Structure 1
Amino acid sequence: MPNLSTITLRRLLTGLTCLLIAKVVVLTLVSYRDYVPPDFHADFLFGREPYFYGSYAWAFYVHIFAGPVTLVLGVILLSNRFRLRFPRWHRILGRVQAVCVLFFLAPSGLWMARWAMTGAMAGSSFAMLSIATGLCVALGWRAAVQRRFAVHQRWMQRCFVLLCSAVVIRVMGGLTIVTAADAPWIYPLSSWLSWTVPLLIYETLRPRKPTMPRDPETPIAKDETGTVARATG
């Protein structure tokens, strides 16, 4: 059983993560004024005018609208309190999340990766990130359908870690501004570190046994190891 200091640290980290996500979502919403209509003097769109219109524009707008939605839904869906209190809404929002990631966020991110401003290194990172995010959702969805809810939980946690790369890379960008670091390799490296390091930390620290609180109103299911876990969907 975790001690008090571990619980306190976990709550602090959760609160900090939620605050950072809220900040990124708000900043993204505020930045819409630079994107609709497109202002090619804005930071992200600077230099993109030659190839913006057409398929890139479609992918770009899909991505910037789907991104905040998936982040907010991720916070809600990972809440055990919400899942236990509103199991029906957990299932509904989970389906919305899966559709947003599989059919909007991941494909648009994969398409945009071709035009990463700093070249192939960053582009390959964003492409791999899009594929990995979509794969996590697909495997999580399959596990839920098979009623392997402990497995489902782990895949969706991985998905959320990958979604939070949007937060991490902005934090890293802020640090480069504060430290006045301006080397051309910083952004490509940050694009990789923003999701590989958090995913590595998650895989290192995650519990090896299911941790989902039991819901007495749902049937019992087993994960792939035969461990009993309560079904929630």
Structure 2
Amino acid sequence: MFKKAQFSILHGFWLLIFAYSCLLMAEITFRYRGFSLDANFLMIKQTEIEELWWYRYVFYVHVCTAIFALPAGFTQFNTYLLNKYPRVHRSIGYLYVFAILVFAAPSGLLIGSAANGGLTSIIAFELLGLGWFYFTWRAVRLASQRKFDKHRDFMIRSFALTCSALTLRFWKLALVYLFQPNPMDLYQIIAWLGWIPNLLLAEFIIYQKNHKL
């Protein structure tokens, strides 16, 4: 009973952290509501906006669709929803994979090719985009083959990369607060820190799940 209460408290704590993080992401996304070319992050991307005709459009496609993946992906791990309302689970899952495979991941790959921090950052963001697309696509394929255990494994990997939108910003805040690094050095670091620890944690969770005694 005590362990169950501890688990519930811990589960509730992480749920609150995730909900708060999603609210912060929604607030950041809301800043782009006017589709301005100098809003927030775009203030330091004026060179790309002037030299790459597609950048502004692709950026807003990414911003406006990636935000749906966070709450949609989170609900996919709710066993109550899965068991009690499987149609709702599937419908939200379709929204998640559609947003990623059609819009968020492809647009992320494009804007990643013009990432701050040079080649080091570009490679990191391109690998992130490719991994995000592949893991999500594999999860869909496995679900269609009714291999639901493996489907869940790839959904965990996919959602770990979805959460890079959150962890990248937390790493940025922490590193700026602690070390005040050069902006370009910072981008090169968080481009990797934003998703590699997430993926390692996902692999640990998958390993624990698949090796329960």
TM-score, normalization by structure 1: 0.80
Check whether the contact 2:37–2:43 (CA below 8 A) recurs between aligned residues.
no
Residues in 1 aligned to 2:32 and 2:71: alpha-carbon distance in whole angstroms: 17
Identical aligned residues as a percent: 25
Residues 113-162 of structure 1, C-alpha deviations (whole Å, 9 max, x = no match): 11112111111111111100110111100110001111111111111110
- Confirm whether residue 160 of structure 1 aligns to residue 182 of structure 2: no
Residues in 2 aligned to 1:10 and 1:147: alpha-carbon distance in whole angstroms: 29
Check whether the contact 1:18–1:75 (CA below 8 A) recurs between aligned residues.
no
Q: CA deviation at 1:95?
A: 1.5
Amino acid at match of 2:121: A
More helix by share: 2
Q: CA deviation at 1:7?
A: 4.7
SS at match of 2:117: coil
Question: What is residue 195 of structure 1 aligned with on the other side?
Answer: 195
Larger-Rg structure: 1
Q: CA deviation at 1:56?
A: 1.2
Question: What is residue 32 of structure 1 aligned with on the other side?
Answer: 32
Residues in 2 aligned to 1:175 and 1:10: alpha-carbon distance in whole angstroms: 24
C-alpha spacing 1:86/1:26, structure 2 compared with 1 (3 Å): farther
- Confirm whether residue 132 of structure 1 aligns to residue 131 of structure 2: yes
Question: What is residue 19 of structure 1 aligned with on the other side?
Answer: 20
Check whether the contact 1:150–1:210 (CA below 8 A) recurs between aligned residues.
no
Amino acid at match of 2:163: C
Residues 20-44 of structure 1, C-alpha deviations (whole Å, 9 max, x = no match): 1232223222x214x61212xx441
Matches within 5 A, 1:133-148: 133-148=132-147
Q: Which consecutive unaligned segments of at least 5 residues does structure 2 have?
A: none
Q: Give the total of aligned pairs.
A: 207
Question: What is residue 46 of structure 1 aligned with on the other side?
Answer: 43
Check whether the contact 2:48–2:55 (CA below 8 A) recurs between aligned residues.
yes
Following TM superposition, the consecutive aligned residue runs of length 4 or more in structure 1 with deviations greater than 4 angstroms are: none
C-alpha spacing 1:24/1:16, structure 2 compared with 1 (3 Å): same
Q: Which consecutive unaligned segments of at least 5 residues does structure 1 have?
A: 212-233
Check whether the contact 2:171–2:193 (CA below 8 A) recurs between aligned residues.
no
Residues in 2 aligned to 1:26 and 1:82: alpha-carbon distance in whole angstroms: 27
- Confirm whether residue 205 of structure 1 aligns to residue 205 of structure 2: yes
Residues in 2 aligned to 1:12 and 1:80: alpha-carbon distance in whole angstroms: 18
- Confirm whether residue 81 of structure 1 aligns to residue 80 of structure 2: yes
| CA RMSD, 1 decimal | 2.3
